[in-house]
Amino acid sequence: MNIDIEPGVVLTTIALVIGLILYTAIKSRHMERMKMLELGEPLNQNSKSFLEIKFGLLFMGVGVGILGAFILNQTYLQNNFVIFPAFIFLFGGIGLFTSFFVVQRYQNEQ
């Protein structure tokens, strides 16, 4: 059973799904804020979510994972590309885990 799917169909489907997810997220946030304004609740503009730290450490972990998988693939495992997703998820998770403790330490200092 060989099904040939054009790359354009796959890319279009992925783009539509991501676009729908982003639209839903933005629309729900807007509706939530409008409801808060109707009820007279103040919008919390000074809340810090530390997204820069979280994304920075996540992407650093992903970069280290890609580099580590590449080095391991070149030295020990010849053409074994299963290690790439494993290292990306492992080091990305370590980056998020580290960001949790960094943000927690910063919030305790304040």
- pLDDT tens digits along 6-24: 888 889 999 999 999 999 9
**What residue type is 99 in one-letter code?**
S
Rounded Cα distance, 42 and 39, in Å = 9
What pLDDT is attached to residue 75? 87
Rounded Cα distance, 70 and 58, in Å = 18
Model confidence band, residue 83 (pLDDT cutoffs 50, 70, 90): confident
Question: What's the mean pLDDT in 37-61?
Answer: 83
Question: What's the mean pLDDT in 82-102?
Answer: 91
Flag whether the pTM goes above 0.75.
Answer: no
Q: What is the DSSP string of 51-104?
A: HHHHHHHHHHHHHHHHHHHHHHHHHT-TT-TTHHHHHHHHHHHHHHHHHHHHHH
